[in-house]
Amino acid sequence: MIDLERAVSLLRNAQDIEILSHHFPDGDTLGCAAALCHALHLLGKRARCTCADPVSEKYSFLFEEIEKQDFPAQFVVSVDVADIKLLGPVLAAKHAGNIDLCIDHHGSHQIFAKESYVDSTAAAACEIIYEVICRLGVVPDQVIAQAVYTGITTDTGCFRYTNVTARTHEIAAQVIRTGIDAADINRQMFETKTRARLEMERSVLDSIEFYFDSRCAVMQISRAMIDASGADEGDLDGLSAIPRQIEGVLVGVTMRERKIGGYKVSLRTLPQVNAAKICAEFGGGGHIAAAGCTIEEDFESAREKILKVIGKVLETM
């Protein structure tokens, strides 16, 4: 593990930089990539962003002002990536052993880069990226500001989650001072939904089942639902927040069927239950209140396995 100064000095000395985001990209990993890429361009460096999955419509505005550059990369940095597997299989294989720097905020981070800067007190990796950019001597402009704000607001559920600190608000305040329209970003992130998204919500709500005196709710996202609604990755973003919104639910489970089989399981918990610890039983991880893992089984068996572990935790409470 390195400190912030070291991370900044690595980037200061780097040339021809490739920035890697995690697959199924969210606002934080894309916000980091956009902000850092633009800052590096302002420093006169060549930089580009890479992700295994296409950037959905919802986040495309982040990259509108960023020049696309092509070059052989000499320095590779990953942002908001907790585990090399989260780059997706193709990029994970391509970059195994050659990632020079990793900047992340996941407490469960699995070291894979040559140098890693991980600050698990940051609500969003964008908080760290903002500090990196400032220390590189770049004065954040609106392109950087909107990217950082998007990362922070999406990773904190619009400043509502327990990961929010005074620093979160301080950085948000600083980027708002550049004149960006924060209310418009929040409307786009949290209110506006596509028709496909609405259809997804309609079917996933119908799938919810309750366990352990209704302290656990399980929601299913099947391939059939995704196909029927025409939803893309962006339309699915944040659906996993739904089960925990139910009064009395301590553990919200979302089970999403993968294209290649098996289930991607996302846990959202109230503070008394450690989601990362439960997911670690299946080789996954994340944060205390939000974590994930993969279970390579059919729906019934995968549900049985995760419920067994959750049941053990809940029976002690």
User: Which residues of this protein are in contact with Mn ion, per CB under 5 A?
Assistant: 28, 80, 125, 155
User: Of 18 and 28, which has the nearer Cβ to Mn ion?
Assistant: 28
**From the CB of residue 293, how many other CB atoms can be counted at a distance below 10 Å?**
23
User: Of 80 and 100, which has the nearer Cβ to Mn ion?
Assistant: 80
How far is Cα 84 from Cα 91, in angstroms, rounded to an integer? Answer: 9
Q: Residue 101 Cβ, how far from Mn ion at the closest point, in Å?
A: 17
User: Of 18 and 80, which has the nearer Cβ to Mn ion?
Assistant: 80
Rg of the chain, C-alpha, whole Å: 19
User: Of 45 and 234, which has the nearer Cβ to Mn ion?
Assistant: 234
Q: Residue 106 Cβ, how far from Mn ion at the closest point, in Å?
A: 7
- Burial group, residue 202, by CB count within 10 angstroms (0-12, 13-18, 19+): exposed
Q: Residue 37 Cβ, how far from Mn ion at the closest point, in Å?
A: 17
Q: Residue 105 Cβ, how far from Mn ion at the closest point, in Å?
A: 6
Q: Residue 104 Cβ, how far from Mn ion at the closest point, in Å?
A: 8
- List, in sequence order, every residue forming a beta bridge with 210; answer none if it has no partner: 217
Q: Residue 267 Cβ, how far from Mn ion at the closest point, in Å?
A: 16
Q: Residue 218 Cβ, how far from Mn ion at the closest point, in Å?
A: 24
Nearest position to Mn ion, beta carbon: 28
- List, in sequence order, every residue forming a beta bridge with 75; answer none if it has no partner: 17
User: Of 162 and 301, which has the nearer Cβ to Mn ion?
Assistant: 162
CA 292 to chain centre: 11
Q: Residue 86 Cβ, how far from Mn ion at the closest point, in Å?
A: 11
Phi-psi label, residue 220: left if phi above 0, alpha if psi -120 to 50, beta otherwise? beta
- List, in sequence order, every residue forming a beta bridge with 209; answer none if it has no partner: 218
User: Of 125 and 239, which has the nearer Cβ to Mn ion?
Assistant: 125
User: Of 28 and 237, which has the nearer Cβ to Mn ion?
Assistant: 28
User: Of 28 and 233, which has the nearer Cβ to Mn ion?
Assistant: 28
